[in-house]
Amino acid sequence: MSNHRDFQRMRLALTQARRALQLGEVPIGCIIFSENGEVLARSGNRCNELINSTRHAELEALQVSRLLLGDAFHSEIQKAELFVTCEPCIMCAGALLTVGIKRVVFGCRNDRFGGCGSVLELNDGSCGLPEGGKPFDCIGGILEEESVALLRQFYEGPNPNAPRPKKKNRNNKQTSLEPSFAAEIS
């Protein structure tokens, strides 16, 4: 279930997504909060900067948290909440299961490769669990219109790194404002 605090926190993730956009990245932002509400990490997609299509905002945020928390990383991350403007892909959802994060809140769906309900539902552990991993609570659709609007700005903009938008298929199940944009994201 979402609450007022989720919306406040997703706004901060959207700020990170806007920064990613300014840097020529697919505008996805992420922020991790500790159990006490401290910010453990702020990040954005860095695939273009690092020439590495696996450097998604969630993996960057986990890495930043690890650097901040040191030896306490695994114990603290298991009490933490991650906010990301687009549904974690299968790779990222696998990573979040592996570290055992407590809760994930996302904006728009990732119809192409979403690992938290759109393609696979890894979060509840029904697809399998890594050693030491835990299922995590997950909710989507928080500020999804704002998340999609940013993606639209990227895919319709002049950025030379932007892949060509896919043709929309109106027969597909669609819940977000412009889910075809979400579908572009790995």
Q: Which residues are catalytic?
A: 58
Would you give the binding string for a second copy spanning residues 89-128, x where CB under 8 A is met?
xxxxxxx-xxx------------xxxx---xx-x----xx
Number of residues that bind a second copy (CB under 8 A): 42
Binding-site member from 62, 105, 116, 148 for a second copy (CB under 8 A): 62
Short-list 50, 14, 18, CA closest to 30: 14
Sheet holding 81-86, edge to edge: 39-44, 29-33, 81-86, 103-108, 137-139
Spatial distance between the Cα atoms of 146 and 3, rounded to a whole number of angstroms: 17
Looking at the Cβ atoms of 13 and 93, the one nearer to a second copy is 93
Which residues are bridge partners to 139 per DSSP?
105
Binding-site member from 1, 36, 70, 170 for a second copy (CB under 8 A): 70
Handedness of CA 2, 119, 183, 91 (dihedral sign): positive
Spatial distance between the Cα atoms of 143 and 6, rounded to a whole number of angstroms: 9
Looking at the Cβ atoms of 17 and 62, the one nearer to a second copy is 62
Residues between 33 and 52 with contacts to a second copy, criterion CB under 8 A? 50-52
- Please report, as ranges, the residues that interact with a second copy according to CB under 8 A: 50-54, 59, 62-63, 66, 70-71, 73-74, 89-95, 97-99, 112-115, 119-120, 122, 127-133, 163, 183-186
